[in-house]
Amino acid sequence: QPQILFHAAAHKHVPLMESNVEEAVTNNVIGTRNVCQAASAGDMERLVLISTDKAVRPANVMGATKRIAEMIVLDAAQRTGQAFSVVRFGNVLGSRGSVVPLFKRQIAHGGPVTITHPDMKRYFMTIPEAVHLVLQASAMGQGGEIFLLNMGQQIRILDLAEDLIRLSGLEPGKDIEIAFTGIRPGEKLSEELWEEGTTYQKTAHPDIYRVQAEEANIPPQLSDMVEELNALATQSESSAIISLLDEVIPDGSVRITP
């Protein structure tokens, strides 16, 4: 019988989820509910949801559905008393969908290297760093916590691309052109790990923090809302889904647009 479950399954491609709203709900929200129910029924000792910086003040469908997934896990922890927790961090270099393998392929083909915007920034960490910190955070969880991994400063995607070109023995703009394609639907110029006005508690690990304010911010009607999202997804009511997500996400200053 498994003792610990790392729930990393999710649709994470931001523009694709903007145009496939029902799929984002079905996988990220309903899938997480199903996993929590199975873990509770199986008396799982620990469950860790791998979340994302895009769940902070979400401006897109992917981030909003991951924020709801966080709520589902925290709610299950409160109801069952089991050690279910959330770990939130940014991009992992070399993981599936990462820009690094894409840039490497584009360089190998002679370019151009495509970037959405010259000022686009993201948080990055390596796969070993991410795994190590997730394991550390999972051991700390007693149930109902959101852990945040310290990812340092955001990196400009343009700088990353230029460095990769130079590491390949080539010169940016001379041997390999860089083309800007424009910001895609749902994308921000930069992500946020640290929310203004939120209290972050230090843990035993210097690079892991606990986000206490959001742990108690679970709507009392969460179960009914998840059922409504499920019904709307089944009926392909994407506009109604977006309206409901926008209503429920705690920070209403950021509008989610299709």
Catalytic residues: 54
In whole angstroms, what is the distance from residue 189 CA to residue 122 CA? 8
Token pair for residue 147?
A: 């852990």
Cβ(111)–Cβ(176) under 8 Å?
yes
Distance (Å, whole) CA 50 – CA 63: 13
Torsion angle of C-alpha atoms 132, 95, 173, 187, degrees rounded to 10: -100
In angstroms, the CA 7 to CA 4 distance is 10
Q: How many CA atoms lie within 13 A of 91 on its CB side?
A: 21
Residue 22: alpha-carbon gap to chain centroid: 17
Give me 224's structure tokens. Answer: 């009914």
φ/ψ of residue 188, rounded to 5: -100, 160
